Amino acid sequence: MAALVRSSFLVNAVYADSGREHGLTPQQGQLLCVLMAQPYGMSELGVVLGLAKSSLTGLVDRTERNGLVRREPDPQDLRAVRVALTPRGSRLAEEFYSETCRRVEKLSAGLTSAERDTLADLLGRVVLDNNVPMVFLEPGE
């Protein structure tokens, strides 16, 4: 278990370093990565990111002021809004995502291909068994 906890610190450090180089906080990086797939309503975003309404509102406000996301009307509920990437946000999300994937992939450079596959399978099972939301997609998804 200690190795799993220590590996989470390692991945978090890579994620934070990549974010800093792109001018993003870790939370903004997560938000952009989630929105790469599609726009989300605020309540959906709160669940995926594990944030309370007030924290999520502040995060979206700051990211919107930076021109990376925009609020748009929800076609299913005119009282609600969805959050979507702006063109600038989409470009930055792709750059951040690609660079972060590259850096995380380097963490397992000392493993054989079979060992990397085994590690991915085992961690994938842990993630699925614990219903971890899709904050960061696999490359190509």
Domain contains 52: yes
Beta-bridge partners for 85? 69
Q: How many structural domains does the chain have?
A: 1
Domain contains 135: no
* Number of neighbours of residue 29 by Cβ within 10 angstroms: 23
Domain contains 42: yes
Domain contains 94: yes
Domain contains 68: yes
Residues of the chain with pLDDT under 70: 135-141
Residue 124 sits in which domain range? Answer: 2-129
Torsion angle in degrees (nearest 10) through CA of 122, 124, 127, 131: -130
CATH classification of the domain holding 110: 1.10.10.10
Domain contains 122: yes
pTM of this prediction? 0.85
Could you tell me if 20 and 28 are in contact, meaning their C-beta atoms sit under 8 angstroms apart? Answer: no
pLDDT digits (tens, 9 = 90+) for 76-98: 888 889 999 999 999 999 999 99
Percent of the chain with pLDDT over 70: 95
